[in-house]
Structure 1
Amino acid sequence: MNILIIEDEIITATDLKETLEENGHYVQDICKSYNEAINAIRIKVPDLAIVDIKLRNSTTDGIAIAEELNRDFDIPIIYLTSQADNATFDRAKLTQPAAYLLKPFRHNELVYQIELAYNHFLINKPVVTNPSKAESVFFPYQKGHQKIKKKQIQFIKAEGHYVNIYIENEKKPLLFTMNIGYIAQFFTTSDFYKLTRSYIVNLEQIVRFDAEFIYFENSQEKVSIPQGQRQDFLKRVALIKTP
């Protein structure tokens, strides 16, 4: 299993790495801060992340990092921390971790928790055959699911633990409690483009764009184009330039 360690204590991180490798796992990276963790995951998404909560040299703590991982990626998270107070635990619980272990950790317990966490993750992960090739997707609706044709979706916007699905000719977006990282697996064909960590746009629904915004067919909504993403976006559209 490919595992990311987010831990700023060198001794603990080294002990973790040795324990994991002795049990057949691969440690993708050891990160000491928010920026290091996000950069590592952008390079390669791990199978599981072990996260310390109190990070001395980070702009945010481990729980804030886990919140972002939940929003953009679909991986199990195990907290390994010395924080045993109820307030921290209650806050961590909101991120739906696979486990919450206290330091100092017992090697066998950690190994078993990792196996259980990943097994539970795989069992509960929806099994879909080539979901990106399906012409329609079924979203939760009342006590069942409602079909939405992909070609009708203009863009998807993430807001915290929610996603808004903007559909052509609909005045209001559909709102769902889920992260955009999970939804992204259903929209990997060439007509869908992940503009930022919070936006997936349907290139076929774009009616025009300028230096700042993308506009959609029969819609008053618009999506901002980040300056650093503009060149990559232009490569994804059939752009005819003035001779």
Structure 2
Amino acid sequence: MKSPASAPAPGGYRILVLEDEFIIADSIERNLVRNGHTVTGKAISYEEAVELYEEDPPELALVDIRLSGHLTGIDFAHFLNEQKPPIPFIYLTSQMDGTTLDLAKETFPAGYLSKPVQIPSLLSTIAVAMHNHQSDPGVETVTLKDGRETHVVDTASIKYLEAEHVYLRLHLSDRPALVLRASLSELLSQLPETEFVQTHRSYVVNLKSVTRYTKDSLHIGSDVIPISRGRRQEVLAKL
């Protein structure tokens, strides 16, 4: 449901709310407006949220992970990450199982809020999310040539790289894996040293994608990445 159009007060932001419980959504809207923000729309489903976003793009989204339909808030988060430029979003959550938490982490949310939402926490989380977003110097990308094709990839979307003979498989958070003819070392040289580490002769991992680890392996969701003995000290020091 689209909310009446209005400009946010100074210091306020334009916010889309995806929440399928009407009472919670209405309470959030009232408190956001009371504190100088504008609600661009309230959606109860993935499809409605996409429609509202395309009709009136917000600056930030509040996203309930569990929705009544087939598609979830995590699916909407992937949609937001694919937009140019992407906007920050904050998850609204009840208790999450381990699998759901792993899937949520892979979308790089700006924050999490437990339900029932406490308004002071909501307002401070929005303020921090927008400050961090506005302070971001920009999205870093790498450009990869594969024959006649050129691929531009956001470094933040790379979960890990996997070398397969003369091919390189890029496992990405915002689209299916990309396979091209390239060397692991060539791409590694283009990536931020503080964010990526080579764990094995065949693997490079985005440290922000790691959900758990042991001395022998890193876990990215359900994927297990080996750590070679010779690289163990460097890898563990970066975690």
For structure 1, the residue ranges without an aligned partner over 5 or more in a row are 128-137, 141-145, 163-171, 181-243
Partners in 1 of 2:62 and 2:129 — Cα distance?
11
- Superposed counterparts of 1:1-243, under 5 Å: 1-56=13-68, 58-73=69-84, 74-126=86-138, 139-140=141-142, 161=157
Structure 1 pair 88/154, CA: closer, same or farther in 2 (3 Å)? closer
Moved over 2 A (4+): 83-87, 152-158, 175-180
Q: C-alpha offsets along residues 70-122 of structure 1, whole Å, 9 cap, x if unaligned?
A: 12241001001213333222210110001111101111011000000010111
Distance in 2 (CA, whole Å) between partners of 1:139 and 1:69 is: 18
Q: Once the two structures are superposed, what CA deviation does each residue of 1:150-173 show, in whole Å capped at 9, x if it has no partner?
A: xx9878799xx47xxxxxxxxx9x
Name the residue aligned to 1:212. none
Alpha-carbon offset, residue 51 of structure 1: 0.3
Q: Structure 2 CA distance, aligned partners of 1:115 and 1:105?
A: 15
Q: Which stretches in structure 2 are left out of the alignment for 5+ residues?
A: 1-12, 159-166, 176-239
Q: Which amino acid aligns with 2:49?
A: A
TM-score (structure 2 length as normaliser): 0.54
Aligned length: 150
For 2:83, give the aligned amino acid.
D
Once the two structures are TM-superposed, the CA of residue 24 in structure 1 deviates from its matched residue by 0.3
TM-score, normalising length from structure 1? 0.53
SS of residue paired to 1:3: strand
Question: 1:176–1:110: structure 2 CA closer, same or farther, 3 Å change rule?
Answer: same
- Residues 16-73 of structure 1: per-residue CA shift (max 9 Å, x gap): 00111111000000001111011111112210000001111x2301111111211224
- Aligned to 1:27, the other structure's residue is in SS state strand
One-letter code aligned to 2:73: G
Find the aligned partners of 1:178 and 1:91 in 2 and give their Cα distance.
10
Please, what is the CA RMSD of the aligned residues?
3.2
Q: What secondary structure, in the 3-state scheme, does the structure 2 residue paired with 1:21 have?
A: helix
Tell me the secondary structure at the aligned position of residue 28 of structure 2.
helix
Percent identity over the alignment is: 36
Instruction: Provide the C-alpha distance between the structure 2 equivalents of 1:119 and 1:139, rounded to a whole number of angstroms.
Output: 22
Deviations 1:184-238 (A, max 9, x none): xxxxxxxxxxxxxxxxxxxxxxxxxxxxxxxxxxxxxxxxxxxxxxxxxxxxxxx
CA distance in 1, matches of 2:35, 2:29: 10
Separation in 2 of the partners of 1:39 and 1:156? 27
